[in-house]
Chains A and B, each alone.
Chain A
Amino acid sequence: MWLYCHFPQLLLDNRVRLQPDSNTLPLALYQLQGNQSVIVQCNTLAREAGVKPSIQTVMAISLCEQLQLVEYIPEREQQVLQQLATRLYLWAAKLVLYPPKGLAIELSSLTQLYGGMDAVFNTLSREVHALPIKAQLAVADNPLAAQLLAEYDCPVSLNPKESAQLLAQLPISAAGFKTKTQKHCKAAGFRQLGELIQLSGDEVGRQLGLETQLYLEQIQGRQRQSYDFFTPPERFRQSLDLVTEVPHWQGLLFPLKRLFGELEDFLYQRQKVTQQVSIELHHRYEPPSVVPVALAEPGWRGQSFLSLLQLKMEAIPLPEAVIEITLVANELLQSEQHNCHFFGVQQHRHETLQLIGRLQAKLGNNAVFSPAMNDDPRPGNNEFRRPAGEKPQVLSAAPKRPLWLLQPPQPTSIDLWQLRHGPERKVCGWWDAGDIARDYWIARDKFQRVGWLYFESGQWYLHGWFS
């Protein structure tokens, strides 16, 4: 048995879900069909004003002057369908997408898990209706039949005989035939699908053609079908069309909060975490502004990303008003596999890493780092920056070196110093043309400060301070 969910105005409902404000005005989606612009989806306020799907846009505007019009983009509706499928994937494994408005779920394999067909249907129905998106459900023994029933908004029946009866009662116009076939049926006097089903296959083939015969066999589940089952995407990408153009960051906060909420749900459901997301702000004329936001430690809470983004906002001027926002998270990690940081299970580790994330967001990644070294024997050359919070490389030898290093070393006069320890000779670096020949000394100045000096090519240099 298959459950088919038909979402008649998926794109519009999803828009209203993410931006509840847009529902306070009459709103309709239009599509160019041939050389005509036609309304395809509209909200309740628009319906009350007389607007309905399939009327021309010009007519719709004359019916309702305040009508907000947005172009319908099938690909975007398909993306929303994918998001819905990802959500339902928690409850059912075998999903087949029928883009852009429907999906079918195989039920028989779930009966044992949920304890009967009724329980399966109730669980899935509850989950489908959990979002404020209009859905028409139907159950039949094959996805195509269920699709026809759902699209016609027939009552749901889990009994195969009853659903077959409902199918037989469908008018020819709702049976999914091509317009030409519908005309033939009408001319031949067929009004309901059941009348065609009663005929033998050969008879249908003779009267309406082989294609119709095969289609009828499919509806009745007499043909074996292969299905392309849905697999959840490996990355997160969601876009949000803004109702009005927003020229400043403050106005973007609310929609961004929604998007980060969606990301949080996505990560939580899949028990994944991510360290970096990027926000693409689309403008009408300028190329999109891309703002990356990275946490010091992978996380899944939307609020963590949002608070970092708020810190960054001040430094990033918007070149132009924003018309659309896209949130992208490409690298998802298992929530357990990201631990190469300090303090394995320390109480305040999380707070410290959050602090580092905040500092990096406001000051830039280069401004916050931890000192690190490699095994280059040349003093100064072996020092580099590593990302703050990352564990350093373990080195065995710890020769006496100053805490402060002057980069580059400063020329000095030996008259200012009293040599105390040394020399430590460093002659190396021939392998990359950065060769040095230095004698290092530890010396005191007149303030009793201890400096680290070296002598090279007839000149003394101060390279660091011990105190």
Chain B
Amino acid sequence: MQTKLQTLIQQGLVWHGQVTDSQAATLSSGFSSLDTALGGGWQYPGLHEWQLQTPFSEQALLLPLIQHAVQQKLSVFWVNPPAWLSAAGLHHYGLNESMQVVIQTNPEKAAWAFEQILQTKNALALGWFAQKETTSQSVRRWYKAAQTGQMGVVLSEPALNEEARAYSNRVRLKLGEAGVTLDILKRKVGWPLEHVALN
């Protein structure tokens, strides 16, 4: 019985019902439509997953989040970013005066580093991981680490199977003629949503 239940939990068909914490702090996503869909913005503490259908399509979501984080005097840690994080680019977006730390290492150590960052007050953790590295155990560990008061975002490619993970929110970014649209695969304040435009 126990193993069947676990299979169902893994498939996302059964989940732990918990009272929604409407008082949870949020960081604005920078888009009112998305803020409404997420119940005020990105939950804080929380661990969020962004699945990128196309690589290098995250900046629309990333920049407003970092700008809000920097306003709140958070240090931003970039774990295994997909390309060289440009100091000139940071300067252009007005982020050069803030603490930006890049970590480049192998996936196993990156997972450890990501957890360490999530345990540290006053830090925003951004981690680029492949789906196969975001096992339910590691996501659970990150989630527990973030619960001490921090926020983390895992950026990954779209998941092929819809196995449940302990993320607060899971969104899929799609690029089209009209710009970026989102499918919200999991959210704390309601059922999944599709085709949320950023405005």
Ordered by A's residue number, 13 sampled pairs between the chains whose C-beta atoms are within 8 Å are: A352-B122, A355-B116, A359-B116, A363-B109, A363-B113, A370-B99, A371-B100, A392-B96, A395-B91, A398-B92, A402-B89, A403-B90, A405-B86
Name the distance in Å between A372's Cβ and chain B's nearest Cβ: 5
Give the contacting residue for B54; candidates A352, A379, A406, A449; CB below 8 A. A449
Q: Digit string of A286-330 for contact with B (CB within 8 Å is 1, else 0)?
A: 000000000000000000000000000000000000000000000
B191 sits at the interface (CB 8 A):
no
**Besides the contacts A363-B109, A383-B88, A447-B54, what 6 more A-B pairs have beta carbons closer than 8 Å?**
A352-B120, A355-B117, A355-B123, A368-B103, A370-B101, A404-B56
Contact B92 A449 (CB under 8 A): no
A370 contact set on B, CB distance < 8 A: 99-102
List A366-425 residues whose CB lies under 8 Å from chain B. Answer: 367-373, 379, 382-383, 388-389, 392, 395, 398-407
Q: Classify the interface of chain B: helix, strand, loop or mixed.
A: mixed
| Alpha-carbon separation in the docked complex, A363 to B63 (Å) | 27
Give the contacting residue for A351; candidates B90, B93, B121; CB below 8 A. B121
Known: A352-B99, A373-B91. A464 touches B86 (CB 8 A): yes
A358 sits at the interface (CB 8 A):
yes
Known: A351-B122, A371-B102. A358 touches B85 (CB 8 A): no
Contact B57 A449 (CB under 8 A): yes
B36 sits at the interface (CB 8 A):
no
Contact A389 B82 (CB under 8 A): no
B54 contact set on A, CB distance < 8 A: 447, 449
List A43-59 residues whose CB lies under 8 Å from chain B. Answer: none
Most chain B CB within 10 A, of A348, A398, A404, is at: A404
Q: Digit string of A423-448 for contact with B (CB within 8 Å is 1, else 0)?
A: 00000000000000000000000011
B100 contact set on A, CB distance < 8 A: 370-371
| Alpha-carbon separation in the docked complex, A371 to B175 (Å) | 28
List B122-153 residues whose CB lies under 8 Å from chain A. Answer: 122-123
A358 contact set on B, CB distance < 8 A: 116
| Alpha-carbon separation in the docked complex, A101 to B195 (Å) | 83
| Alpha-carbon separation in the docked complex, A312 to B163 (Å) | 35
Give the contacting residue for A388; candidates B86, B98, B101, B116; CB below 8 A. B101
For B122, the closest partner residue in chain A by CB is A348
Known: A352-B75, A359-B103, A363-B109. A467 touches B59 (CB 8 A): yes
Contact B176 A448 (CB under 8 A): yes
Give the contacting residue for A371; candidates B82, B86, B92, B94; CB below 8 A. B86
Contact A362 B109 (CB under 8 A): yes
B101 contact set on A, CB distance < 8 A: 356, 368-370, 388-389
Known: A347-B122, A359-B113, A359-B116. A449 touches B99 (CB 8 A): no
Known: A395-B96, A467-B56. A406 touches B84 (CB 8 A): yes
Name the distance in Å between A345's Cβ and chain B's nearest Cβ: 12
Give the contacting residue for A367; candidates B57, B96, B103, B176; CB below 8 A. B103
Known: A367-B104, A368-B103. A404 touches B90 (CB 8 A): no
For B81, the closest partner residue in chain A by CB is A404
